[in-house]
Amino acid sequence: MELPTPNKKVVAKRDEIVKKLIEIVGRDGVVSDEDGRRAFESDGLNAYRCMPLAVALPRSTLEVSKLLKYCQSEGIKVVARGAGTSLCGGALPAEDAIVIGISRMNKILEIDYESRFVHLESGITNLAITQAVAAEGFFYAPDPSSQIACTIAGNLAMNSGGAHCLKYGVTTNNVLGLKMVLIDGEIIELGGPYLDADAYDLLGLVIGSEGQFGIITEVTVRILRSPEGAKPMMLGFGSSKDAGNCVAAIIAAGILPVAIEFMDKRAIEVCEEFANAGYPLDAQALLIIEMEGSPEEITQALDRIKRIAEPFSPTSEVTATTEQQSEKIWRGRKSAFGALGRISDYFCMDGVIPLARLAEVLERITQICEGHGLKVANIFHAGDGNLHPLILYDANNPEELQKAEAAGAEILTLCVEVGGCLSGEHGIGVEKRDLMPVQLSKTELALQMRIKTMFDPDWLLNPAKVFPLHDRQDPSLASQT
């Protein structure tokens, strides 16, 4: 992976920069020693590392404002960081950049059950929102697998989803307003504690912008009433093709489960060993399908799904009968990435495809990885076609790393070729940066870069991410970048 040449003048001023950061956020809010900075040199992608110039940990929007205003005046690049769980290198630092981590900004500021919103600081974890409102019968819908650790700030940056986004939508469908600090230190507010805003949808523009426009410090999220009940069912299949075709048939029938999750045989075996969830070890593929509602509604819907599945010859069918069994089924799925991390390094892809092409694409993914001499495990949100193939490789073997990168590029290109796109919820970051021309034309990229320039004229925010480096150097785009 190519990184731009660092600004040597900025690097040479490191001691001076650290002194100013301490002035703004205090000695306890700055990490400047080598061992401390090393904790911030990578993120969940973990394949690439770069030591940041320094790390600042503000406690307020005002401190973030002062930090950004100083960085712009000195031409210092900035990488915003939540919990560092990004799977696309979205929080990867640069040698001449400071990291601004918002993990200490983690307070809930207001809960309004009548209007169904929570106003909070963006460093709070995803799961903490539901924990704060669960006693009153509410929940926050987006639920990434890393929800116990990932921050709302990171969810906003990448427009994260999760297993239940099939029914409830992704982050952008559940955020009402936010407060953001621009690179010059100006603080702006978009949206508010209401469903719709007039004029241009700047809120929608900012969510998913990967830290390229500013640093979000406060958020107003929508909370929902918890359903009367929920129950998952597991269907095992003799092939990934049968499981994929079953998913397409369920959605085509007009049924909207709260989640449809897919695991192939390798994922089933690893997750079962880790979580003892009762997964069918004789199956080549597994679907976890969850329905919500009253007991009668759930039973009717699951019975209908069973009938739809019959032509695809399911090898097993288990419906959870207790809360404990349901929890085990989901614990296995939620811990899948960690379970696979125990046995191998991996690249986690994040392409999206039309459901009608699911079976075909799964077959091609296996062929692509085998062609590079690599193994793959498939675990993903099948209901909305958001694939997460995990390409297994040895990170200590440079040759295998190159093979994994090449296989990943082929898989994502395939997703675009069948009518899909490069990312569903992980973002572009550095992982997919050089693949952007596969999906977007030169004109489309130029338009996006112009929008970036409006928010960040000097391109100091989250450097070397999202846009291919060679396009930034194209003379025809010089006025925009």
Domains, the chain, ordered by start: 8-101 (3.30.43.10), 108-225 (3.30.465.10), 230-337 (3.30.70.3450), 344-432 (3.30.70.2740), 440-477 (no CATH)
pLDDT of residue 338: 86
Per-residue pLDDT for 479 more than 50?
no
Nearest to 229 by CA among 332, 125, 116, 319: 319
d(CA 292, CA 468): 43
d(CA 141, CA 292): 13
pLDDT of residue 480: 44
d(CA 234, CA 417): 31
**DSSP codes joined into one string, 404-439:** HHHHHHHHHHHHHHTT-BS-SSS--TTTSGGGHHHH
pLDDT of residue 325: 93
Give residue 264's region: left, alpha or beta (phi > 0; psi -120 to 50): beta
Per-residue pLDDT for 6 more than 90?
no
Helix residue spans in 188-335 (DSSP H)? 202-206, 240-252, 265-275, 295-309, 323-334
The neighbour count for residue 149, using CB atoms within 10 Å, is 16
Q: What is the mean pLDDT of residues 459-466?
A: 96
Q: Are 320 and 231 in contact (CB under 8 A)?
A: yes
pTM of the model: 0.93
Question: To the nearest whole percent, how much of the chain has pLDDT over 70?
Answer: 97
- Going by pLDDT thresholds of 50, 70 and 90, the confidence category of residue 105 is very high
- Collapsing DSSP to helix, strand or coil, 135 comes out as helix
pLDDT of residue 1: 66
Per-residue pLDDT for 450 more than 70?
yes
Q: What is each CA distance from 193 to 99, 115, 260, 456, in whole angstroms?
A: 30, 8, 31, 27
Name the least confident of 58-72, 147-161, 224-238, 458-472.
458-472
pLDDT of residue 470: 77
Cα angle 197, 199, 205; round to 5: 80
Helix residue spans in 13-60 (DSSP H)? 14-25, 34-38
Q: What is each CA distance from 209 to 258, 398, 448, in whole angstroms?
A: 27, 31, 10
Per-residue pLDDT reduced to its tens digit, 45-56: 888 899 999 999
- Going by pLDDT thresholds of 50, 70 and 90, the confidence category of residue 471 is low
The neighbour count for residue 118, using CB atoms within 10 Å, is 25
d(CA 327, CA 460): 44
Per-residue pLDDT for 481 more than 90?
no
Nearest to 379 by CA among 260, 276, 237, 281: 260
Q: What are the φ/ψ torsions at residue 406 (nearest 5 degrees)?
A: -65, -45
pLDDT of residue 195: 79
Per-residue pLDDT reduced to its tens digit, 141-198: 999 989 999 999 999 999 999 889 999 999 999 999 999 999 999 999 999 998 777 7
229, burial (CB in 10 Å: exposed 0-12, middle 13-18, buried 19+): middle
Q: What are the φ/ψ torsions at residue 459 (nearest 5 degrees)?
A: 55, 50
Query: Angle, nearest 10°, between helix axes 61-74 and 14-25?
Result: 160
What the block records as the tokens of 22 is 């301490």
- Going by pLDDT thresholds of 50, 70 and 90, the confidence category of residue 93 is very high
pLDDT of residue 363: 92
Helix residue spans in 335-432 (DSSP H)? 336-341, 358-371, 398-417
Q: What are the φ/ψ torsions at residue 319 (nearest 5 degrees)?
A: -110, 130
Q: Residue 466: what residue type?
A: V
Per-residue pLDDT reduced to its tens digit, 304-360: 999 999 999 999 999 999 999 999 999 999 888 888 888 899 989 899 999 889 889
Give residue 64's region: left, alpha or beta (phi > 0; psi -120 to 50): alpha
pLDDT of residue 478: 41
Q: Are 220 and 117 in contact (CB under 8 A)?
A: yes
Q: What is the dihedral of CA 150, 152, 155, 159, to 10 degrees?
A: 170
Per-residue pLDDT reduced to its tens digit, 398-424: 999 999 999 999 999 999 999 999 998
Enumerate helices (H) and strands (E) in the chain, giving the number of each: 18, 18
- Going by pLDDT thresholds of 50, 70 and 90, the confidence category of residue 33 is very high
- Residue tagged 């990488």 (tokens): 79
Q: What is the DSSP letter of 4?
A: P
- Collapsing DSSP to helix, strand or coil, 87 comes out as coil
- State the average pLDDT for the chain: 93
